[in-house]
């Protein structure tokens, strides 16, 4: 329904923002904006409106200062405990302990800050995307101004190659076509006019509007500015991006939950230890040091550093597979992703219109080859067709080549179109047939043109030469009504077979192809120009060509692999429903079908669906078409409401909010806009959907290795905690001092644990379903193993500590034995953790040499700990005899054998169940 408004005497940002400009007649818009289309605004009025509405720029997001970002690195529950331990030890004048503890905290903070600084990028690309200058009409004169100086009510003039500098309601449009793919996802340039449309039309169907940052590909236009800066559609998108909250990833959630649980456990146990010691009459200082030892022992200090470094290693692995990670946690999130919402244009498809089918002279042809690269053949029944075998086909291709204002060129090794993508596709198919445009232009030089106009739906050209001829292309209805005969393959003229042509066109439409018809007319000698009366009748129908933005071949395989891995793939696009459904079927998306076709829900239908019902629709439908940016956002949120871990891919401005909202946003590196890249967590450098499958595989591998690290490191903290508790209960001296515990935790985490990051992917990693988002890091089996190994570490260290004392060793020697026992047993347990299920012979003894390098390095530094005098001063250690060292290694072998037996039993049980 077309709307009307009453003229208001005072314009305000609020009143302008509320108007559905696309549904208002042009003259009413001018009246409302209080401007003349022939004179524009006066300079005084421009100054007043600039004061009222501000400049035509978008408000950048306020960024946290570097200092605040550094302080936030300390905002973690476990770090609070370590900071408290530092303060307590300073108060007790245990300065070396305090320095070591705080050094650990500082290292964690510095690493986190450096990684965050590398990933941080201000979202200012939208401001850059606005055109630098604009042609306006002011004081009755046309002038060029800085686009930032535009105000609502300005009369803007655009032509081919210009960007719209603001949101504009068109008041004049001559053959105007606009590329809106970055904003709406529409793969074909949109034909614009000045007629108002229904108020509920989505962005892609507002044909009387020109949107900021979209590009004019053809024709000229004039319009009145109705929105500037933050009020434009692009500005609204930036606001959505800036206000969207960064979601916690599955890993950050689990580590946060684990940290809070551990916090209360540590505080509780430390309080118990303190109370027990106090009731026994221990000194306050000794009680505090024992509580600090327990806290330091139970906290996995190396975990934050290890997680950061392992994720960073995952980043480098993904970079080798064409995926650049902007945020570290995105590495792990990929591994738990169970829904990928993909934009169509440029992501699943080539973003290059391609003619795939031609019907001419009563015959039907297929065209192979994809995109603008002029390589391929025209085939009939899978056999190559030679030029000249079908007179109608030859002329049909020639008309498409010469009745054409665009061209395909090669730049830096890539083929691109200069002009309209549809016309580019027509040139490519003619070149596949062997036609040379320069040669044909010489034989049939163009003399006159009737440009495409929405009212007539066709374009015609007059060509001179030995025999002047008129070529015409356009919609089937516009072309066929001007034709009286049809050309057959042998060159004869017959009556037009409307039923057959409609059948061929229906077949193309069912395949999602955009259809253009072609005709010609022999001109009278001496004809110099043409008009619509010249082409009104008497033309000869040649045939039709069907084109589409085709799916990437590699995307088809990638979608198959993702679905095989239990990941749902959904297409969310601004393109038309029929095209989207056809592409989705060709790609092989799963989803609800009707009459053998995938069901596509349109943006208009989504407007009628509430948020609760949308969750069900989003779950079962795989194709969403003519979708606006805010609807993409709604779909992502609906899927997340069902506890899905959602990855969103895209390359356009319109994808920005959804990329930001998704658990992981994936932008295209080549065709992607800066807005999409800045909103994304990951950028594909090759714009290849198949790289996502590789990234998911790497993400799963990273999480596997992180899990191995956690399963390896937690028993150490458990064993250390048990040692401290037992010592308190028995009233004995601490077998391991707080600084010795820090030595164990930090050195083993870096030198031993991090080597697990280099473990190769285990077989069948993409055959298993995604991890449930609510599944804990440690399963029941892994918890049992953690308890088993923690108990073994406790028994070995505590037992050898007392054994050495019984054998006459000093307390420092016994403590050194206990410390070294923890280190050596961790090294042997590391070999067990190379795979959490499979024995070493299946994964290969030497498939990860870094493990052995790490063990060698750890033993070297532990030797320094034992024998270097300066280490004795720092950590209170003491030299050991060869027999003491042999007893420690014997305990390590025993642990390795016990865990290997436990793994083998569980592995066999799992195989029987599966």
Residue 628 CA, chain-centre distance (Å), reads 18
CA distance 180 to 424: 17
User: Greatest CA span in the chain, whole angstroms?
Assistant: 121
The candidate with the shortest Cα–Cα distance to 740, out of 879, 892, 874, is 874
> Which residue, chain included where needed, has tokens 């150490």?
716
Nearest CA to 261 among 215, 288, 298?
298
What distance in Å separates the CA atoms of residue 85 and residue 270, rounded to the nearest whole number? 11
343 catalytic per annotation: yes
Strand ranges, E, within 377-495? 378-380, 383-384, 407-411, 414-418, 446-453, 458-463, 469-474, 483-487, 493-494
Q: Specify the pairing of strand 597-598 against strand 664-668.
A: unpaired
Question: Beta-carbon neighbour count of residue 255 at 10 Å?
Answer: 21
Catalytic residue from among 179, 205, 208, 343? 343
Q: Angle 302-319/690-730 helices, nearest 10 degrees? A: 170
| Separation CA 591–CA 588 (nearest Å) | 10
CA distance 595 to 260: 53
Question: What is the rounded distance in angstroms from the CA atom of residue 759 to the CA atom of residue 904?
Answer: 20
* Residue pair 165/128 in contact by the 8 Å Cβ criterion: no
Q: How far is it, in rounded angstroms, from Cα 817 to Cα 803? A: 10
| CB contact at 8 A, 410 and 383 | no
From residue 30, how far is each of 1, 239, 256 by CA, in Å?
Answer: 20, 28, 57
Q: How far apart are CA 373 and CA 411, in angstroms?
A: 11
What's the CA gap between 191 and 196, in Å, rounded? 14
Which letter does DSSP use for residue 551 in this model?
B
Residue 804: in which H helix or E strand, if any?
A: helix 780-806
Residue with structure tokens 């290969």? 844
The beta-carbon contacts of 287-293 under 8 Å, at least 24 apart in sequence, are 288/88, 288/92, 289/89, 289/92, 289/94, 289/738, 290/724, 290/727, 290/728, 290/734, 292/85, 292/88, 292/89, 292/97, 292/738, 293/724, 293/734, 293/736, 293/737, 293/738, 293/741
Whole-angstrom distance, CA of residue 652 vs CA of residue 346:
9
Helix, strand, coil abundance in the chain, percent, nearest 5: 50, 15, 30
Q: Residue 672 is encoded by which pair of tokens?
A: 């992607």
Measured on CA atoms in the order 731, 736, 739, 742, is the torsion positive or negative?
Answer: negative
* Cα 600 to Cα 204, 581, 638, distances in angstroms: 16, 6, 17
CA distance 60 to 748: 45
φ, ψ for residue 106, nearest 5 deg: -65, -40
Q: CB-based contacts of 599: which residues, under 8 Å, 6+ apart?
A: 581, 591, 592, 593, 621, 623
Label the pairing between strands 167-179 and 209-210: antiparallel
Catalytic residues: 343
């Amino acid at each position: 329904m077309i709307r009307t408004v009453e003229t208001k005497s005072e314009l305000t940002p609020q009143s302008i923002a509320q108007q559905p400009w696309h549904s208002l007649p042009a003259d009413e818009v001018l009246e409302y904006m209080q401007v003349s289309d022939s004179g524009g605004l006066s300079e005084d009025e421009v100054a007043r409106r600039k004061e009222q509405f501000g400049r035509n720029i978008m408000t950048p997001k306020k960024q946290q200062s570097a200092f605040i970002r550094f302080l936030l690195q300390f905002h973690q529950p476990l770090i609070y405990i370590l900071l408290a331990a530092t303060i307590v030890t300073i108060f007790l004048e245990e300065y070396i302990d305090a320095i070591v503890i705080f050094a650990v905290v500082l290292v964690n903070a510095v690493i986190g800050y450096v990684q965050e600084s590398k990933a941080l990028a201000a979202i200012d690309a939208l401001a850059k995307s606005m055109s630098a200058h604009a042609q306006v009409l002011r004081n009755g004169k046309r002038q060029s101004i800085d686009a930032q100086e535009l105000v609502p009510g300005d009369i803007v003039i655009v032509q081919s190659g210009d960007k719209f500098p603001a949101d504009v309601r068109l008041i004049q449009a001559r053959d105007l076509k606009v590329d809106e793919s970055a904003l709406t996802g529409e793969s074909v340039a949109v034909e614009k006019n000045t007629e108002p449309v229904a108020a509920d039309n989505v962005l892609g169907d507002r044909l009387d509007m020109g949107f900021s940052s979209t590009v004019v590909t053809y024709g000229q236009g004039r319009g009145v500015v109705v929105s500037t800066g933050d009020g434009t559609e692009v500005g609204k998108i930036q606001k959505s991006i800036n206000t969207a909250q960064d979601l916690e990833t599955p890993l950050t959630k689990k580590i946060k939950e684990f940290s809070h649980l551990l916090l209360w456990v540590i505080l509780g146990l430390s309080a118990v230890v303190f109370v027990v010691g106090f009731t026994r009459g221990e000194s306050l200082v000794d009680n505090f040091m024992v509580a600090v030892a327990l806290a330091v022992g139970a906290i996995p200090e190396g975990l934050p550093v290890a997680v950061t470094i392992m994720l960073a290693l995952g980043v480098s692995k993904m970079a080798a597979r064409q995926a650049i990670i902007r945020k570290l946690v995105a590495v792990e999130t990929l591994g738990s992703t169970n829904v990928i919402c993909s934009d169509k244009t440029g992501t699943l498809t080539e973003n290059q219109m391609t003619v795939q089918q031609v019907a001419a002279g009563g015959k039907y042809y297929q065209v192979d080859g994809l995109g603008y690269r002029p390589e391929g053949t025209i085939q009939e029944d899978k056999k190559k067709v030679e030029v000249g075998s079908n007179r109608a086909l030859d002329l049909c291709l020639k008309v498409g080549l010469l009745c054409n204002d665009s061209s395909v060129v090669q730049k830096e090794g890539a083929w691109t179109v200069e002009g309209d993508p549809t016309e580019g596709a027509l040139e490519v198919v003619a070149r596949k047939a062997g036609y040379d445009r320069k040669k044909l232009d010489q034989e049939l030089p163009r003399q006159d043109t009737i440009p495409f106009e929405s009212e007539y739906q066709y374009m015609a050209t007059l060509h001179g030469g030995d025999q002047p001829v008129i070529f015409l292309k356009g919609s089937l209805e516009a072309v066929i009504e001007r034709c009286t005969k049809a050309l057959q393959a042998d060159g004869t003229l017959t009556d037009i077979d409307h039923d057959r042509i409609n059948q061929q066109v229906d077949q193309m439409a069912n395949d999602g192809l955009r259809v253009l018809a072609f005709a010609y007319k022999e001109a009278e000698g001496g004809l110099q120009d043409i008009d619509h009366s010249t082409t009104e009748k008497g033309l000869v129908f040649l045939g039709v060509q069907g084109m589409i933005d085709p799916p990437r071949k590699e995307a088809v395989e990638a979608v198959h692999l993702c679905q095989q891995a239990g990941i749902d793939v959904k297409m969310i696009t601004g393109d038309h429903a029929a095209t989207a459904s056809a592409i989705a079927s060709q790609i092989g998306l799963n989803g609800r079908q009707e009459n053998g076709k995938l069901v596509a829900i349109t943006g208009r239908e989504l407007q009628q669906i509430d948020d609760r019902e949308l969750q069900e629709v989003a779950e079962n439908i795989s194709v969403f078409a003519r979708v606006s940016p805010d609807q993409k956002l709604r779909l992502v949120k609906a899927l997340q409401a069902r506890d899905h871990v959602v990855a969103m891919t895209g390359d356009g401005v319109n994808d920005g909010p959804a990329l930001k909202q998704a658990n992981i946003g994936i932008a295209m590196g080549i065709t992607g806009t800066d807005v999409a890249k800045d909103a994304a967590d990951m950028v594909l450098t090759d714009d290849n959907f198949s790289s996502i499958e590789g990234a998911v595989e790497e993400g799963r591998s990273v999480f596997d290795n992180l899990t191995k690290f956690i399963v390896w490191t937690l028993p150490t903290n458990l064993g250390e905690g048990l040692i401290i508790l037992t010592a308190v209960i028995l009233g004995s001296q601490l077998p391991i001092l707080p600084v010795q515990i820090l030595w164990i935790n930090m050195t083993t985490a870096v030198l031993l644990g991090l080597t697990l990051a280099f473990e190769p992917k285990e077989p069948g990693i993409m055959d298993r379903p995604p991890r449930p988002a609510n599944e804990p890091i440690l399963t029941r089996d892994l918890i049992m193993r953690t308890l088993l190994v923690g108990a073994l570490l406790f028994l070995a260290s505590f037992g050898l500590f007392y054994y050495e004392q019984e054998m006459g060793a000093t307390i420092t020697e016994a403590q050194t034995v206990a410390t070294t026992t923890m280190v050596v047993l961790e090294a042997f347990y590391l070999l067990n953790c190379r795979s959490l299920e499979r024995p070493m012979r299946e994964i290969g003894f030497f498939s990860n040499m870094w493990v052995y390098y790490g063990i060698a390095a750890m033993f070297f530094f532990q030797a320094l700990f034992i024998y270097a005098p300066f280490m004795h001063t720092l950590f209170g250690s003491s030299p050991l005899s060869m027999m003491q060292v042999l007893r420690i290694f014997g305990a390590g072998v025993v642990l390795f054998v016990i865990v290997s037996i436990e793994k083998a039993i569980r592995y066999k049980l799992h195989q029987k169940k599966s």
